Amino acid sequence: MLNIASRMAASAEPPRIIVIGNEKGGAGKSTLAIHIACGLLHDSHTVAVIDLDLRQQSVGHFFRSRAAWSRASGAYLPMPVERLEEGSSLLGLSDEEAAQKLEAMIDTAADRADYVIIDTPGADTAVSRTAHGRADLIVTPMNDSFVDFDMLGTVDPVTLELTKPSLYAEAVWEGRKRRMMGARKSIDWVVLRNRLATTEARNRKRLDERLQALSKRVGFRIGPGLRDRVIYRELFPFGLTVADLSPTVRPVPVSLTHVAARQELRAIMGAIGIPGYAAAPEIEAESVADDEVVAEAS
Ligand SMILES: Nc1ncnc2c1ncn2[C@@H]1O[C@H](COP(=O)(O)OP(=O)(O)OP(=O)(O)O)[C@@H](O)[C@H]1O
Ligand SMILES: [Mg+2]
């Protein structure tokens, strides 16, 4: 069964419905969702964002802060198509009603925007499964740790054979199967490592081997990762990401770390099939005396 999943190759068409998912909490889903959304906005696409984390609403919160910061500073910031940011209208509905309503929301979003970005909660919910079944592309961030491998599957410690796919991998498989039977389209799945530390070369090699083995057996691609950098969270309260920084939008002094982070975002956008963002203008660093830069250089 999993061999068939691995044979479902990446589609040649650019993905239009991108679901950010991982049933493990705190893996970086919302962080990635806002960075991908802002990268697309700066590549002049229309973007709709659906926040299915009905409790935390991090993405909805981010875009409200963005609108407020833009008003207060007078700086122009591209925004997603309006009124599609909230999944909160699904609260209190039965699973079936919520799934139906979400299907309609996704249809509306796909009519109005080039790309629909869906952030999902760190748990298995009916709406999250529905969203996964509608994805052209699933992007799964995972923390750079052996502990987080279980959410993809377990492999034999010696042979690296898959001993058991995870519940999340099975849910993705189910989504792929439904999508293939319905729309006769495959779902591309990219796993990215998040919060990569600078100092773990030996551990990293073992993690890489394990991830490669899982990738073939569970059926996902491995994308470029994101380092652990303060700037991926320090711009959140302004409703900004590294994609937004420019000579007029720089609420914090821009350092070499920002330049490097922008490069990481470019690599991710390229890997998920959105190469246009690669042309985003370089930003100029004002300072180099930054703790993270020192750590990276060491
Ligand atoms: N690459 C990174 N560098 C530094 N901090 C990060 C990075 N990625 C995520 N974080 C921080 O880690 C925390 C968890 O990230 P995030 O909220 O994006 O995860 P999540 O998967 O959406 O969590 P949940 O399952 O609770 O929705 C946040 O404080 C976020 O700012
Ligand atoms: Mg989240």
| Residue-level pLDDT at 200 | 67
Place of tokens 């057996």: 217
Residue 82 has pLDDT above 90, yes or no: no
Q: How many residues does the chain have?
A: 298
Minimal-distance CA residue to ligand 1 atom 3: 228
Output the CA 219–ligand 2 centroid distance in Å.
24
Residue 214 has pLDDT above 70, yes or no: yes
Residue 7 has pLDDT above 50, yes or no: no
User: For the segment 39-67, what is each residue's pLDDT rounded down to a tens digit?
Assistant: 999 998 999 999 998 888 899 999 999 99
| Residue-level pLDDT at 36 | 96
Residue 10 has pLDDT above 80, yes or no: no
Minimal-distance CA residue to ligand 1 atom 2: 228
DSSP assignment of 43-78, as one string?
A: TT--EEEEE--TTT-HHHHHHHHHHHHHHHH-----
Whole-angstrom Cα Rg for the chain: 19
Output the CA 48–ligand 2 centroid distance in Å.
17
Task: Give the Cα separation of 166 and 170 in Å (integer).
Answer: 6
Whole-number average pLDDT of the chain: 85
Residue 2 has pLDDT above 70, yes or no: no
Question: Over pLDDT 70: what percentage of the chain?
Answer: 86
Q: What is the token pair recorded at 268? A: 């991710």
DSSP class of 130? H
CB-ligand 1 contact for 27 (6 Å cutoff): yes
CB-ligand 1 contact for 25 (6 Å cutoff): yes
Task: Give mean pLDDT, residues 286-293.
Answer: 50
CB-ligand 1 contact for 53 (6 Å cutoff): yes
Task: Give mean pLDDT, residues 275-280.
Answer: 71
Output the CA 141–ligand 1 centroid distance in Å.
10
When mean pLDDT is compared across 60-74, 154-168, 216-230, the lowest value belongs to 154-168
The CATH class of the 2-297 domain is: alpha beta
Q: Which of 102, 117, 113, 109 is nearest to 18 (CA)?
A: 117
Output the CA 249–ligand 1 centroid distance in Å.
23
Residue 293 has pLDDT above 60, yes or no: no
Residue 230 CA: nearest ligand 1 atom is 4
pTM of the model: 0.90
Do 34 and 66 contact (CB within 8 A), yes or no?
A: no
User: For the segment 182-200, what is each residue's pLDDT rounded down to a tens digit?
Assistant: 888 889 999 999 998 876 6
CB-ligand 1 contact for 56 (6 Å cutoff): yes
Do 20 and 36 contact (CB within 8 A), yes or no?
A: yes
Ligand showing the shortest atom-to-Cα distance for residue 34: 1
| Residue-level pLDDT at 261 | 93
Which residue ranges make up each domain of the chain? 2-297
User: For the segment 197-210, what is each residue's pLDDT rounded down to a tens digit?
Assistant: 876 677 778 888 88
